[in-house]
Every structure is written in structure tokens, then in C-alpha cells.
Structure 1
Amino acid sequence: MKLVLASTSTYRRMLLERLHIPFETVRPEVDETPRPGEAPDALADRLALEKALAVAARQDDALVIGSDQVAHIGEEVFGKPGTVERAHEQLRRMSGQTVVFHTALALVNTATGRQRVERVPTRVRFRTLSEAEIVRYVAKEMPLDCAGSAKSEGLGITLLDALSGDDPTALIGLPLIALSRMLRAEGVELP
């Protein structure tokens, strides 16, 4: 079976390359708008599965991976900022706070129709950030395509006091421990 990543994220592609399995990437066409009253963890789960299913509908005999990440404080969700101004706003709001990043993962087997979904939360405690630190960080790293405006795998690690979770790759966008478990359950030999 071929392996397909339902994402055009460079971060997810680089993470999946660590498993040394050939794969292709396909852009999922999914509306990522939260539903009224939808909890952040449920949003992450839904979007990961919808992305996998959107791509799976166009694939034969494939394992399709979907993933999505939602960062939040309580019910306040932080998506990809898209602009420098929004990145500044997000980091101001997260300064001194603990933010939960829910990274959801879905695997769809197009041959059997089997669907698997797991979510890996990571708690991230931001230090209290000065306005100058926020401006310098955003200018240097331009984290406009990252939920929560911070790249822990890069300079964003300097914004943090602590982080905790079961899989360090979850915070980057693709939880490889959970994915490896799912792939083995589908008969993929790892390592």
C-alpha cells in the first residue's frame, strides 16, 4: 500500500521523512472553520479525520495520514496567525500562560475503510514576554504558519519555561510515536 500525507506542511513532511518510508503528499481541501461551541480538542480530531478522508476519497489502496493542531487557553483558540500583527497579538496573550496544543492524528486505510484517530496533547508554559522579545522573535522566525505563533523546534524554544507531553514531535505537528503505532497496526514494518 502506498502512504499518503494529507498535508502540504513542510513541518509534517520533514517529520514523516524520519520514518524512512516512501510517501507522497496531497493537499486536503477542508474548511478549517470551527463549528459553534466546538471544543478545541474535538476541533483538532475532526479536522485531522476530515483531511485524511478528503484525500482518501481520491486514493486507491493507500494509508492516508491526516493531522491538525489546535492551540488554546480554555476555550480561546490560537490558529495560524497569518500576519505579523496577529502573531504579536497571540504571543502577548500567551505570555506567562500555559497553552495546550492538541495535535490530532488520523489514519485511513482506503482498502478496508478502517479509520484510526488519536490526539496527543502538549502543555506549554510560556514565560512572561516583553514586547521587545515578541517583536524580535517574530521578525527573526516569522512563525506565521504555526498554530500559536511559536516554533518550539527553532528559536521559539526561548519563549518557553516548560513543556510536557508524551511525544516531542506532536508539538511540531505530527506525533510520530502515535503514527508509528497506527502504521504497525496496519501491517507496516517499522523500523
Structure 2
Amino acid sequence: MTEPALPTLYLASTSSYRRQLLNKLTTEFHTAKPQVDETPLANETAEQLVHRLALAKAQAVAAGLSSGLVIGSDQMAVFNQHIIGKPHTAENALAQLRRFSGNSVTFVTGLALVNAQSGNIQLCVEPFTVSFRTLTDAEITAYITREQPLDCAGSFKSEGLGISLFSKLSGDDPNSLIGLPLIRLNQMLLNEGVNVLLK
């Protein structure tokens, strides 16, 4: 008797960071770019925003499928109750890291798993807090020059040299800091009958 085929996995993202993270669990997945308006709603908190967008991204891709499991994710950095975006320029990165020096930044990551066939939805928001040590301008400038974190919310890459900026990391899953909470995702996959260890 043959085992039933496992559902195909889809990552509703073209982010290289999320692809690399999902590769830790499985290399057997497809990627798709979701067509979703990411504009925040009036008075929407960062938690509400990533919750809504993670689900919207997964549902946008699932809508075009008859079967499969679709992973959606969205992340925001929050400092002093304000959403922090990507710096895009070295000047903005310098300004961000100066503000973060000696302070903490919380990253909230929304994660959704949608079963395209059954319509079943699993959804969560995973927080992760980064505490920065007190940084000098020389250290900040050297870091930006070496790692060019201009496409990263918060102006750092925690998986690289950015780790040297911190005094403490607080959260359940360090992968969520990079953009995809793998521990929670693995549990969601198990809930759908997908065990990445037994695939």
C-alpha cells in the first residue's frame, strides 16, 4: 500500500531570506509573488498589519491553486511604538542605528499557512526583541560599509556581522528575526500532516 502524496508547499514570497530559511526545513517548495497591497490601514498596529498581510499573501497565492499548502509571512520592526522600515540608503541606516544604540527593537512577524484545498487557515504573530549595545559612530559606519544592510528593516543582518551590534536577543525562535518563524511553521505543517523529517 502506497503512502498518500504529501501536499505541495508554496512560499508566497520571492524574498531570498525567506527562501533560505525555508530551505532549512525542506527544499521541496515553489515560490510565488503575491499581488497584495501592503499599505497600512489607519490606526493599524504593527501586530495587526503583519497578521493581515501574512494571511493576505498566503490567500492571494492559494486562490490560484486547487491544492497545496501556502506559507505567507510579513515582518515589521517596531521602535518606540513606531514602525521602522528598510533604510534604502547608508545615511538612513546610520540614523536608524544611532537611534537604536543602547535601546531595544522588537520585530513582529506574521505567519500564515493556508490549505488551498480545504481552506483551513493557521495564523500567528511571533515577536522577537533585539537589544543593542551602545555603539559609536565609527562602529556603525564600519558595519554599514562592510555588510550593506540597506534592504533590511532595522539596518542590520542578524545572521551575519549584525550579531556584533547586540547585547541580548529575546524570543522563542531566532529565525523569526530574519523573517520566517520556523518552529511555529513546523508545528503548522505537522498539524496538516506534513512531517519534514519523514518526507
1:15 is matched with 21
1:110 is matched with 116
- Consecutive unaligned residues in structure 1, runs of 5 or more: none
Q: In structure 1, what residue type is equivalent to 2:110?
A: A
Greater gyration radius: 2
The percentage of counterpart residues that share the same residue type is 55
| CA distance, structure 2, for counterparts of residue 33 and residue 88 of structure 1 | 25
| CA distance, structure 1, for counterparts of residue 150 and residue 63 of structure 2 | 30
Q: Give deviations 1:4-58, integer Å, cap 9, x for gaps.
A: 0011111110111111251011111222222221111111111111111111122
**TM-score if structure 1 supplies the norm length?**
0.95
- Consecutive unaligned residues in structure 2, runs of 5 or more: 1-6
Aligned residues: 191
| CA distance, structure 2, for counterparts of residue 94 and residue 139 of structure 1 | 18
Structure 1 counterpart SS, 2:139 = helix
Structure 2 counterpart SS, 1:147 = coil
Within the candidate set 34, 56, 67, 2:40 is matched to 34
Structure 2 counterpart SS, 1:64 = strand
Displacement of 1:164 in angstroms is 0.8
**TM-score if structure 2 supplies the norm length?**
0.91
| CA distance, structure 2, for counterparts of residue 94 and residue 160 of structure 1 | 10
2:139 is matched with 133
Q: In structure 2, what residue type is equivalent to 1:118?
A: C
Within the candidate set 48, 54, 69, 1:48 is matched to 54
| CA distance, structure 2, for counterparts of residue 158 and residue 111 of structure 1 | 45
